[in-house]
A and B are shown apart, each in its own frame.
Chain A
Amino acid sequence: DTAVSQTPKYLVTQMGNDKSIKCEQNLGHDTMYWYKQDSKKFLKIMFSYNNKELIINETVPNRFSPKSPDKAHLNLHINSLELGDSAVYFCASSQRFDGGKLFFGSGTQLSVL
């Protein structure tokens, strides 16, 4: 059973489209995250949710909207996709907000054409 699963693994779409990436964790963790990994493999936090509440919202365009229907799920919706949004997006979870080992999903490679 995969601890943190995200879908889809690959997403190829045209500029201007709206797309969603889903993430689910079955670890019973309180905190979930979205990270973006750029073409140089640099990871950066986008959002963090703790018990469905938004805790961290880094400088991310408001075309990106996270949604946490319950603490096991954190989805990422992206409106009006741009070329610069092409990257690998990782979902992760940890037991609590102020610490704990991170568990990552397998990543979603988004290509905007």
Chain B
Amino acid sequence: KNEVEQSPQNLTAQEGEFITINCSYSVGISALHWLQQHPGGGIVSLFMLSSGKKKHGRLIATINIQEKHSSLHITASHPRDSAVYICAVRSYFGNEKLTFGTGTRLTIIP
């Protein structure tokens, strides 16, 4: 079992819908990252958070440390949001390496 699990693996939605992508992890962490990988392959860091909630434009990321769970929300989704969204956690113990989830492929239909 992967230390970082994402759900759903694939998500197709209509333009304008509210999107939620979930990430659960099993280790103690110092930080959690949400990344976006465009269809062209480039990876962009969306958020890094260790508690609470962060917002950037139409994107909101939340984390619950006690429940070892994070969510990424997209409001008023748009076809340009179509991408793979990847959750990654930085372990609290050990060598601080990042462990990645398997990604959620999001497709927004116009």
- Interface residues in chain A, defined as those with a beta carbon under 8 Å from any beta carbon in chain B: 40-45, 48, 55-56, 58, 88, 90, 92, 97-104, 106-107, 109
Contact B35 A102 (CB under 8 A): yes
How far, in whole Å, are A55 and B37 apart by their CA atoms in the complex?
26
Contact B31 A99 (CB under 8 A): yes
Residues A99 and B30 in contact in the complex (CB < 8 Å), given A45-B97, A56-B95, A107-B41: yes
- Would you mind naming 29 contact pairs between A and B with Cβ atoms under 8 Å apart? A40-B102, A41-B84, A41-B102, A41-B103, A42-B102, A43-B88, A44-B100, A45-B98, A45-B99, A48-B97, A55-B95, A56-B97, A90-B43, A92-B43, A97-B96, A98-B96, A99-B31, A99-B48, A99-B90, A100-B48, A101-B45, A101-B48, A102-B98, A103-B45, A104-B43, A104-B44, A104-B45, A106-B41, A106-B42
Q: Which A residues are in CB contact (< 8 Å) with B41?
A: 88, 106-107, 109
**Which label, helix, strand, loop or mixed, suits the secondary structure of the A interface?**
strand
**Which label, helix, strand, loop or mixed, suits the secondary structure of the B interface?**
strand
Q: Which A residues are in CB contact (< 8 Å) with B44?
A: 104
Q: How far is the CB of B68 from chain A (nearest CB, A)?
A: 19
Q: How far is the CB of A10 from chain B (nearest CB, A)?
A: 11
**In this assembly, does B86 line the interface, its C-beta being within 8 Å of a C-beta of chain A?**
yes
